[in-house]
Chain A
Amino acid sequence: MSEEATYALPQSDPESAPYWEGIQQGELRLQLCTACQRHIFYPRSLCPHCHSDRLAWVSASGRGTIYSYTIVHRAFGPFAAEAPFIIAIVELEEGVRLMTRLIDAPRERVRIGAAVQVSFEQVSGRPPLPFFRLLE
């Protein structure tokens, strides 16, 4: 297994820049389709539901529930040294799902349906990412 010396970084682009700027400022941003009133994630230039291009950036509550999760024991590259860690797909209150990592989550308390809150964390010296913490 080849070990990369450094972490790969997400490459911001014209569509995603407002999202990553929000993360830097401690705000989780989503797009809202003003035509069909649905939130969407990840950022796009058209709504995947109704295909309107009337999309507005909004601030998300940052709260949601665990939709599914896995405890990763064998990871690749620089992530190998961080294992085990818990990856989750979180369903936000706004109705969209995103991938994240749970921070400070005792595994016996991690279950599908558990309430979680976004937490912008710098792990291993990387720029901040939207991790999540258990709420209760």
Chain B
Amino acid sequence: MSRVSAPRSPRAAIVGVAESDLGYTPNKTVLQLQAQAARAALEDAGFSFDEVDALFCAGNWSWSPTLTLAEYLGLRPRYSDSTNIGGSSFEAHIEHAVAAIEAGLIEVALIVYGSTQRSDRSRGRVSPTYRLTEQFEGPFGLPTPVGAYALAAMRHMHQFGTTSEQLAEVAVATRKWATLNEKAMMRDPITIEDVLTSRWIAEPLHLLDCCLVTDGGGAVVLASAQRARQARKPPVWVLGHGEAHTHATIANMPDLAVHQAAIASGQAAFAMAGLRPEEIDVVEIYDSFTITVIMTLEALGFCPLGEGGAFVSGQRTAPGGPFPMNTNGGGLSYCHPGMYGIFLLIEATRQLRGECGPRQVPGARLALAHGTGGVLSSAATVLLGKD
């Protein structure tokens, strides 16, 4: 259910963002990557570690990542949150941190993520046993998450007539943005034909419909309105936020052609901000797979349900197009260290600050960052704006 609340003056702002080294980082541990990103984000904010009173992180590298990371960083947080709902966790962390700021519990939150999944070669390991709810899906051998997104894509094609060419439009446009980002891993332009002739992973998804597998980390510093005014750079205000989840296993997704969690998170965020989709200047949407983007655009109301394929056609989301989207090159071409959500916040913030050089969206005032986690399981939407 969407929350009904009038737009109000923002209570919190993003004041610092940074990535760690990205790509292939075999000589760094997951803690090093996070420390690197955390320090750089605090420097970006002009804040010190001593000013941090809340730590947020998500990861499966520790049974309690906030305990481990806080000790490593020399932090003694008085507020801790390791909510893990997949790749959307960091947009959810924004919501939780804003709530804690509004409740007067904290003033400065540090949100951190890191992964060495590429160096670890940990992607795609098969569990030693299928326990609890896994026992009903695991034994059939579906590769997750890609196979689950393929099932959704097939259903979306069946129900709405979405085509492989339309899915490929997303990959091609996103790659064009990556050519403008020197930090992106994949910067050679690709064509629709390249996507359609890349090898099948799980039909109807080709290799180039799938995100990268990389190492990397990122960090975001969120501060109360009062503290944000003391930051080194102008605040990027949190205008609205929402989160939801609908299922954990793909067979239990209520409707495989509709991203219902994103409908809920988007409605909540837009209602809180008092904004409409057509007012947003730049959108950063989790692109684990090309189908994820199409279903999310529909769910957030940028186009009607079933029309996401047409919406992205004709390279409308590419540089110079009418709908700037995934301007860093996305999880498809820039980086994707397992849970990508933190990078959506980083890019949205940089776009609003005007720091994006050749990929800068001119005059961007309002941005959307939307994370999707699990197997289209969870969603969290954050709307950002500058003064």
Contacts and interface: CB of A to CB of B under 8 A. Distances in A.
Question: Are A and B associated in one complex?
Answer: yes
B150 interface: yes
A126 B158 CA distance: 33
B130 A8 contact: yes
Nearest to B126: A77
Interface stretch (B3-11, B77-85, B188-196, B250-258): B250-258
B166 to A, nearest CB: 18
A67 B142 contact: no
B125 A9 contact: no
Given A10-B130, A129-B139, A129-B140, A72 B155 contact: no
Contacts of B252: 97
B135 A2 contact: no
Contacts of A82: 141
A73 B139 contact: no
B139 A126 contact: yes
A85 B336 CA distance: 27
Given A76-B143, A85-B141, A129-B140, A71 B200 contact: yes
B275 interface: no
A75 B200 CA distance: 11
A72 B126 contact: no
Interface in B181-240: 199-205
A46 interface: no
A99 to B, nearest CB: 5
A126 B141 CA distance: 12
A87 B129 contact: no
Nearest to B137: A99
A10 B127 CA distance: 10
A52 interface: no
B139 A112 contact: no
Contacts of B124: 1, 76-77
Nearest to A41: B136
Contacts of B121: 1-2
A57 to B, nearest CB: 15
B154 A69 contact: yes
Interface residues of A, number: 39
B60 interface: no
B173 interface: no
Interface string A61-99: 000000111111111111100101101010000000111
Given A87-B151, A112-B158, A71 B251 contact: no
Interface string A1-38: 11010011111110010000000000000000000000
A112 B126 contact: no
A93 B324 CA distance: 45
Contacts of A97: 251-252
Contacts of A16: 135-136
B380 to A, nearest CB: 23
B132 interface: yes
B130 A11 contact: yes
A129 B141 CA distance: 12
Contact of B138 (A10, A70, A85, A98): A10
A97 B155 CA distance: 14
Given A68-B256, A70-B154, A112-B158, A77 B203 contact: no
Interface of A: 1-2, 4, 7-13, 16, 41-42, 67-79, 82, 84-85, 87, 89, 97-101, 112, 126, 129
Given A87-B142, A97-B251, 16 more contacts: A8-B127, A10-B129, A10-B134, A42-B133, A70-B142, A70-B202, A70-B203, A70-B204, A73-B201, A73-B202, A73-B203, A87-B202, A89-B250, A99-B137, A100-B140, A112-B158
